[in-house]
Structure 1
Amino acid sequence: MKDLRNHGESPHDPRHDYVAMTEDLLAFIDQHGLKEPTLIGHSMGAKTAMSAALRSPETVAKVVAVDNAPVDVTLSRTFASYVRGMKKIEEAKVTRQSEADAILRDYEESLPIRQFLLGNLYRSPEDGIQRFRVPLDILGRSLDHLGDFPYKNPGEARYTKPALFVRGTQSKYVPDDVLPIIGQFFPRFQLVDIDAGHWLISEQPEAFRQAVVSFLQDPETAQ
């Protein structure tokens, strides 16, 4: 498997928007001969999965969108704060993850979220310094675009197969007033609320797992 561009060990590219990431995802599915996969994505990954399903509905069997919706929003300032914290870690040239965690604690108090962010660190074999795999400058410059959604009109794109939307009740990204637009783009959608913030997979992993398994096994979501 590969991560989205500019994440994990996937290639870095100055362009970082949902049209490009959707093209990457659909090309990956085609190149690997995947037959109607279920797409599960959180946050940026959720919008990429939704966009791929709307662009090529015949390619995708089901969608699980985690704490994001098919609308334009303003990103929380915490994302920019995370990038600043991660840059601070690189500037400090730390050699231990505990040192990185101590720096990031000034930017995020939740240990599970810090652990998630620090999962991008790797130790350079040349000098032992821990660096991030993700290109922080590119991601920092792209933040203004990552609240957007490439589809604006449900009359022009609709995904009529099963879709699950999982939202954190303490998060702002899927408020009740966007549920009608979700229903227009994804008329067979189900909604599950989990008592967590935006990083609900890290905060409530078992509740998330149960929600997804229940959705995938539900006879009502069969094609």
Structure 2
Amino acid sequence: MSVACRFLSSALLHRATACLSMTGCRNSCSNNRQMHWIRQIGTVANAPAVCARPVNLTYDVFDGKGDKTPLVFLHGLFGSKSNFQSIAKSLVQRTGRKVLTVDARNHGKSTHSPMITYEAMTNDLTQLLAQLRIGKCILIGHSMGGKVAMTTALTQPNLVERLVVVDISPAPTTPLTNFPAYIQAMKDVKVPNDVPRSTARRLAEDQLRKHVKERSVRQFLLTNLIEEDGQYSWRVNLEAIGNHLKDIMSFPAFNTSYEGPTLFLGGTNSAYISSEDYPEIQRLFPCADIQYIPDASHWIHADKPLDFISSLVAFLQS
């Protein structure tokens, strides 16, 4: 399948100057209905954390009345399922679909493990979906979660009806990140016990500022600061993430492809999906379309939530 040049005149989106053709991809119908949502919280009990065996994942379900294929959101590095809470509620109302948001291993309230690779995270997700009796889903993954979603689609295509990859590509991302500095800065933070949470956040941010210059990034990292019995700590497993950062920044090698409808959604102010990535995207995802949301950074869903939701709804209806 050749690379086709095309543009979208919508005020919300403009596509890449070189986009992948959607020819031959499956179509689906979707009716926009107003639905209520019911928030459920649960943890699936899985195998112990040994090698790449599944671990317990914490999840939220936002349940619509429709019986269409559910949406499953996977967050990025240092994120959590709460990153997509408002997005999930809106999509239930817009589409009537059940929406599942998941904490990755070593993130949020999910189980910690010394291993964090895409094989391991894909096994976690597969086990979770099996436990919840979800035989097919629409995977939506941001950054690290996008790589988990791609890995799942490439290894278990029958499980993925459609795929959305948010501001990441199947290419190494190491040159684009300052994550080693972020990890060290977080490890170096010292907060006294039994101080108010507002004081703890201020002290932690002051200490992060030296190595994390962007305020938005500091605020994002601080979402991981938790208090238990008067003591403050990071809920992410910094040791495991640091030990496997090379794995997280890379992407497994595949000789297979995922033939289902796929959307790569990038931000125009981000460098995570570049034209240099298009050939590999086309090789692995021949039914992929690449779109960019104007004035959005790497955190598209936070910068432009309405445009992000509109893009997802349009893709589901295509």
Q: Quick one: distance in 2 between partners of 1:101 and 1:115?
A: 8
Whether 2:196 is the aligned partner of 1:196: answer no
The structure 2 residue matched to 1:60, chosen from 160, 166, 180, is 160
The residue type paired with residue 151 of structure 2 is S
Equivalent residue, structure 1, for 2:261: 162
Alpha-carbon spacing, 1:201–1:109, altered in 2? closer, same or farther (3 Å): farther
Q: Quick one: distance in 1 between partners of 2:224 and 2:275?
A: 33
Alpha-carbon spacing, 1:107–1:205, altered in 2? closer, same or farther (3 Å): farther
Trace 1:140-159 onto structure 2 (pairs within 5 A): 140-153=242-255, 157-159=256-258
Cα distance, 1:77 vs structure 2: 4.1
The structure 1 residue matched to 2:126, chosen from 23, 26, 48, is 26
Contact 2:225–2:232, Cα closer than 8 Å, also in 1: yes
Equivalences, count:
212
Cα distance, 1:150 vs structure 2: 1.5
Cα distance, 1:75 vs structure 2: 4.8
Whether 2:151 is the aligned partner of 1:51: answer yes
Q: Find runs of 4+ consecutive structure 1 residues off by over 4 angstroms.
A: none
Whether 2:113 is the aligned partner of 1:17: answer no
| TM-score (ref. length: structure 1) | 0.86
Greater helix share, structure number = 1
List per-residue Cα deviations over 1:34-76 (Å, max 9, x = no partner).
1311111111110000000111111111111111112334253
Whether 2:202 is the aligned partner of 1:103: answer no
Q: SS in structure 1 opposite 2:217?
A: helix
Equivalent residue, structure 2, for 1:131: 233
Equivalent residue, structure 2, for 1:83: 183
Cα distance, 1:172 vs structure 2: 2.5
The residue type paired with residue 187 of structure 1 is P
The structure 1 residue matched to 2:282, chosen from 183, 206, 218, is 183
Contact 1:75–1:147, Cα closer than 8 Å, also in 2: no
Q: Quick one: distance in 1 between partners of 2:192 and 2:262?
A: 43
Whether 2:239 is the aligned partner of 1:118: answer no
Contact 1:71–1:149, Cα closer than 8 Å, also in 2: yes
Moved more, 14-23 or 206-215: 206-215
Contact 1:83–1:140, Cα closer than 8 Å, also in 2: yes
Contact 1:163–1:186, Cα closer than 8 Å, also in 2: yes
Task: Kindly report the root-mean-square deviation, in angstroms, between the aligned alpha carbons of the 2 structures.
Answer: 2.0
Alpha-carbon spacing, 1:15–1:44, altered in 2? closer, same or farther (3 Å): same
Gaps of 5+ in 2: 1-58, 60-101
Q: SS in structure 1 opposite 2:292?
A: strand
Equivalent residue, structure 1, for 2:135: 35
Greater strand share, structure number = 2
| TM-score (ref. length: structure 2) | 0.62
Cα distance, 1:109 vs structure 2: 3.7
The residue type paired with residue 186 of structure 1 is F
Equivalent residue, structure 2, for 1:74: 174
Equivalent residue, structure 2, for 1:174: 273
Contact 1:159–1:187, Cα closer than 8 Å, also in 2: yes
Q: SS in structure 2 opposite 1:144?
A: helix
Gaps of 5+ in 1: none
Contact 2:266–2:291, Cα closer than 8 Å, also in 1: yes
Q: Quick one: distance in 1 between partners of 2:310 and 2:185?
A: 33
